[in-house]
Amino acid sequence: MDINEVSTTEDLWTPYKELAAVVDSYLSSDGGSAPYAVHTFEAVLRRQAQAFRALPHNPPKNPTSREEIKRGVTEGVTLPSLGETVLSEELVDEAIIISGLYSKKIH
């Protein structure tokens, strides 16, 4: 992915997908494009620096959001690129587990 390319379907994961693509490209390069790959990697890291700085500052668990996700199994949720969709119970369970791993505990 070109670092100057703008995605038309940008979502929460787009910057991380871009970073993964750049890392994959660098690791699979034959060495001839290594200087370009390093430059691209550094440019992507600079652009995403704020996201990396924010990682240790995760917000606390949000009971309202958790209930909204749980209702997605029966009532569905509205997703930006997909519209209204019903979530599988497995997806909701995994989302809650992952959320718990990255949320601060409220004391």
Residue spans per domain, the chain = 14-56, 58-102
Model pLDDT for residues 21-41, shown as the tens digit of each residue? 888 877 777 655 667 777 888
In this prediction, the residues of the chain whose per-residue pLDDT falls under 50 are 1-8, 106-107
The CA-CA-CA angle for residues 78, 83, 86, to 5°, reads: 60
pLDDT of residue 42: 85
pLDDT of residue 8: 47
pLDDT of residue 3: 47
pLDDT of residue 61: 78
CB 73 within 8 A of CB 88: yes
**In terms of C-beta distances under 8 Å and separation of at least 24 residues, what long-range contacts does 21-27 make, across chains too?**
none
Give the separation between CA 43 and CA 10, rounded to whole angstroms: 18
Residue 40: Cβ-neighbour burial (10 angstroms; 0-12, 13-18, 19+): buried
